[in-house]
Structure 1
């Protein structure tokens, strides 16, 4: 698993404030950060439960026993479509011990009100439910993927399965099983778990590639496969996406281009430059964004041409991409300051300003001579 892929997973986790707090707690105690929600909350739960032991909290039991009891409660809540708040009697039916419920509240796992109980966060609920799901078997609950309005529909066990892949000793075996029913869900698991075997990873990538390159498949499925390949990343996923883009229809081309940008490998630059030269504006926008994400200076000349000749929004996105490439773009942006079109001048000046220190002399000396007041400002 590359450093870039792991970095991307951590960013995904840290976007949630509750997750960010969990990340900080785990890092403080462990010195490293899991990239899977299940692995993260497993470590967090152990830290918090050990704290309760040191406090001599009434109702404390060994971690495995606590995990089993709360796992049964969380599993039943999801399995029977319970609301977030359940009656105290319902919780006691599964946890069996009111003092254990109170200890769980002290640890921060649940919120205990006078007559109701709720898990402190959906992610904690899913973590505990993962243990309950392991007991009954993942294959008894997951279903093939479904789509609505071009998007994959969320299914209630998906996030729980991803969490479970982060806490079982052999995630590859579980992911292979999941792929028999839902290879898109299996791809989510691969993306989130570091300890996946190469054979497992390659199997999921092949399944995604086969579905992506089957023309009679539903377009929504093919787009979901392209998105999944972009999230998994790596050389095999990259090659499949590059091979698929030429024969794809326009909306699929856009999704593939976005996936190539997400992977960020410079070998995709030539494919994206070709897409940038397409007459369809939405393809130009997507290609420019992807080239900016990759940040390779071989794209500079093509982006300069788009900055000069593209429509307004495309000019702006091309400029954004040049800013992401940074200092190597200064020369072409300086040339654009002298273009006869004031909009090109203005967009270039604004881009140079965002690049900052490497371009400041060029920006001052060139832009003050513009005839347009907006550029001089």
Structure 2
């Protein structure tokens, strides 16, 4: 059990490290405009995933775990039927991205292949986690997000002709395909039954109703990370967007490390403590979550600010140095986002989903309004400034909701009874 856990942690760490380093080498080997286009493609695929999935897993995972294994095949068949319907509905609509010229046509093939592979990998990984096969889920994640990144960087070092956007997308496709094949093989070994049952459309409709509210919140929040890139492209061009993608890659590394090293450990403890009415334990874990988030965020931000100059000089692209003023604002946005996750998980532990949903929707409105205002005077800084205000609004909204909705003894020892 211990070796498996260590291997699992190592694989997760290698995946995070690979994603963290990939963005640096892309910035070194690609032109800023190509890096900007890569950022647009990644953000668009990330957003389109929610259209193909509808966050249905929030319902189906609980349903699978409530049923006997001989019923799992039928439930997976139901979800497969929904997936086919969503593919038939949204994939033709997504062609409008290319018809409108939002992305160039030569990326259409890669877009749809990667979109399908990413969606299948996402759903298969969630299923592996649900059946407690954490080790295989980590192996699949490493193939999907880590191994190909290392391989393509090595190829770029060895063969300069591989330093193209197409080579990167090809490596991503290969990694995604291998991950899907491995996950399918592992699940096939479970010998699940129930596949011959008819598709239960009533069950599917019930699941959509459960998943829909959280999907709206997710789409609003993910919309920030999609609209920001397109808006900056419109305001300042693909080259400046390339610098933004680089800076966001650094800032998002902080969020990835916090998610894997802090949030993933804290929120299950918060849930358990609240469900069992252990207010002292809840307060202790909440304090630990806040302190760890603040300390790690400040340490990461301090190191990033110290190292950004030598890093940008190493990249050898003057444009990145010219846009360095953008970096502190991008870093501040990530810090505010991380801070907002403390009340977020506190509310989530109490099943208080409504303020989470409301704050995400409101943040999109704040972002659009603030970015439009800032773009009148500071077009190149408008997007990161808008994100800062959006994430500040989320943190304040969730904090207010936490103190308003949480029983006082769960945050104040003086009121513990």
If you compute each CA radius of gyration, which structure gives the higher value, 1 or 2?
1
Q: TM-score, normalised by structure 2?
A: 0.25
Q: TM-score, normalised by structure 1?
A: 0.27
Larger helix proportion, structure 1 or 2? 2
